[in-house]
């Protein structure tokens, strides 16, 4: 077993580590922002909007983790998580500026 691990190049190990970090932290960021944005923008009362947002959180996190390991490169995984995160942060910030929060 040790010989198989030693045969893997360091670049491969770093790429897998980067994907793992993207899945854990980037996926959490994306899921949290999606949940927040839904809770702010859904035309429901506050309790139902929060519950719906938290329910969708699990699905967004699952898709984010799958996305990280389905991409061709670790860069694509990070970009694919950070770009939607910035968009969702902008949308939720606009909602807070409009007085929805």
Number of domains present in the structure of the chain: 1
Residue 15, in any domain of the structure: no
Instruction: State the chain's mean pLDDT as an integer.
Output: 89
Q: Give the predicted TM-score (pTM) of the model.
A: 0.85
Q: Are 47 and 62 in contact (CB under 8 A)?
A: no
Task: Tell me, yes or no, whether 8 lies in a domain.
Answer: no
pLDDT of 1 above 90? no
Does residue 2 belong to any structural domain of this protein? no
Is 62 contained in some domain? yes
User: What's the domain range around 60?
Assistant: 23-97
Task: Count other C-beta atoms under 10 Å from residue 63's C-beta.
Answer: 15
**Residue in 15, 10, 31, 23 with CA at minimum distance from that of residue 72:** 15
How confident is the model over 11-33, as pLDDT tens digits?
A: 889 999 999 999 999 999 999 99
> How much is the pLDDT for 89?
93
Q: Is residue 12 in a domain?
A: no
Q: Are 58 and 48 in contact (CB under 8 A)?
A: no
CA distances from 95 to 8, 10, 38, 42, 57 (A): 48, 44, 10, 11, 19
């Amino acid at each position: 077993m040790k010989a198989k691990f030693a045969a893997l190049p360091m670049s491969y190990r770093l790429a897998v580590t980067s994907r793992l970090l993207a899945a854990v932290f980037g996926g959490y960021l994306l899921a949290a922002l999606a949940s927040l944005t839904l809770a702010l923008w859904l035309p429901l009362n506050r309790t139902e909007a929060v519950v719906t947002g938290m329910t969708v959180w699990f699905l967004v996190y699952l898709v984010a983790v799958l996305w990280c390991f389905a991409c061709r490169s670790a860069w694509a995984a990070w970009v694919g998580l950070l770009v939607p995160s910035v968009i969702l942060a902008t949308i939720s910030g606009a909602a807070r500026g409009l007085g929805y929060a």
